[in-house]
Chains A and B, each alone.
Chain A
């Protein structure tokens, strides 16, 4: 069983928790390959997707995971939520509690909001991404994909490339990698690094080309094009030339090294089309793993502790 009631920060999990989630997700992945992709496991449980910040793929992934476990899922989108009418998050939490929800997945633009929700609800909480802070199930599905493709996690060198300072993906992945004994390196221009990159606990490199041959995984972060106007680099073209993953860079990596991306990809910016479509890019594997990992997280949170089963 998990040692935690909620998955809010990756640090909520012990190494044993993390391994249990990945191992359980393997069984769910097998289910997702069956003709009938449905289990009765969480029948009668209510899972709420409270997405107060726009998201399509994460919400869909959680929704599919809940449906495949036979849970009753409810989606609250930002536009339809009472929060746009001025309701506070605490009021929303109390309303959902009164409706006897079992699990809430919260995406919110402010860091720390899932923690606050957890304080005001009996339900289990999964952080579906909070501001620039964390996105723990993304880190878990990334670890799952690495373990599946490379056979192990311990000792892997993983370069996380791009906008480190604004990335909740990096915020979760760096501690997750450290927990499993991998070596994270954050890579990007100084203008996209946090003020004190060493505080992340990862190695820091300001030149992608220098560390390329060492990497088992090049994890390309998305450049948020919607914010590109205010981006602290001269042009998207220059970013792509200095920091983008292209065929020439891929050729300089180890032959078995893989390229990852949390999606959605900006082809031609952080990743070239040729690399994105190559067998060494595992972006669709990540999406596939996402459903299985989220099924595992839901199952284990709602599962409870060990006792003898009746035969």
Chain B
């Protein structure tokens, strides 16, 4: 299906400000960075996790370990003909006893996060799992909420919310996309 941009909800400056705020909130809620670890959900959650870790290094001078997680194997919709292609999972630290912050770009139904929590539990038993997202667009299908949100964006279930990052897409932005006219739903 073809999509076109309906509205830009965050530009580069807004994203930068949101990342800075989330980094401060994480440090405050966890009383520093000592026991923290980030796990970014591929692909854009992983990019955001790296950015947050960089921001915490700037603020606190602390290195927070960052892992990447592909939740394809944990999804409950394989039978609904999800693309079976997978990316690498790389969690190069022990999650046991850590305060793990799951990071994703967009929070929607909550199913990805549920799968990600299952995946992390297979690596060990963290002290806590928290959730940071750049955009929360609503439409939850599971009782999941984010601890740290860059921006709440009301959107129609038919629309898409897409985040772009400089390192991957050449620009920083969050946009609401709608089906182009003539496009099939």
Contacts and interface: CB of A to CB of B under 8 A. Distances in A.
Contacts, number: 84
A34 B123 contact: yes
Q: Pick from B73, B107, B108, B109 the residue with the most CB of A within 10 Å.
A: B73
A90 interface: no
Interface in A257-311: 299-300, 302-311
Given A30-B89, A36-B122, A309 B112 contact: yes
Given A27-B89, A30-B88, A34-B123, A307 B70 contact: no
B21 interface: no
B109 A311 contact: yes
A85 interface: no
A152 interface: no
Given A31-B73, A311-B106, A40 B118 contact: yes
Interface string B68-88: 001011111111111111111
Contacts of B75: 41, 309
A40 B71 CA distance: 11
B104 interface: yes
Contact of B85 (A42, A302, A306, A308): A306
A310 B74 contact: no
A39 B74 contact: yes
Nearest to A24: B86
B111 interface: yes
Interface string B153-167: 000000010000000
Q: Pick from A27, A41, A309 the residue with the most CB of B within 10 Å.
A: A309
B82 A42 contact: no
Nearest to B157: A310
B81 A304 contact: yes
B77 A309 contact: yes
Range, interface on chain B: 20 to 34
Q: Pick from A36, A302, A304 the residue with the most CB of B within 10 Å.
A: A304
Contacts of B79: 44, 304
B78 A41 contact: yes
A102 B98 CA distance: 40
Contact of B108 (A44, A69, A311): A311
Given A36-B122, A311-B108, A311-B112, A27 B88 contact: yes
B124 interface: yes
A42 B84 CA distance: 12
A12 interface: no
Contact of B82 (A31, A39, A44, A307): A307
Interface string A5-41: 0000000000000001001101100110011101111
A309 B104 CA distance: 14
Given A39-B73, A41-B78, A310 B109 contact: yes
Interface in A153-187: none
A299 B84 contact: yes
A306 B83 contact: yes
Contacts of B76: 40
A42 B78 contact: yes
Given A27-B89, A304-B84, A311 B77 contact: no
Given A39-B73, A311-B107, A27 B122 contact: no
A251 interface: no
A150 interface: no
Closest 5 CB pairs of A and B: A303-B84, A304-B81, A306-B83, A311-B108, A39-B73
30 contacts: A1-B83, A1-B84, A23-B86, A24-B85, A27-B86, A27-B87, A31-B73, A34-B123, A39-B73, A39-B74, A40-B76, A41-B72, A42-B78, A44-B79, A299-B73, A303-B78, A303-B81, A304-B81, A304-B82, A304-B84, A305-B83, A307-B81, A307-B82, A309-B77, A309-B112, A310-B77, A310-B108, A310-B112, A311-B104, A311-B108
Interface of B: 70, 72-90, 104, 106-109, 111-112, 118, 122-124, 141, 160
Interface of A: 1, 20, 23-24, 26-27, 30-31, 34-36, 38-42, 44, 69, 299-300, 302-311
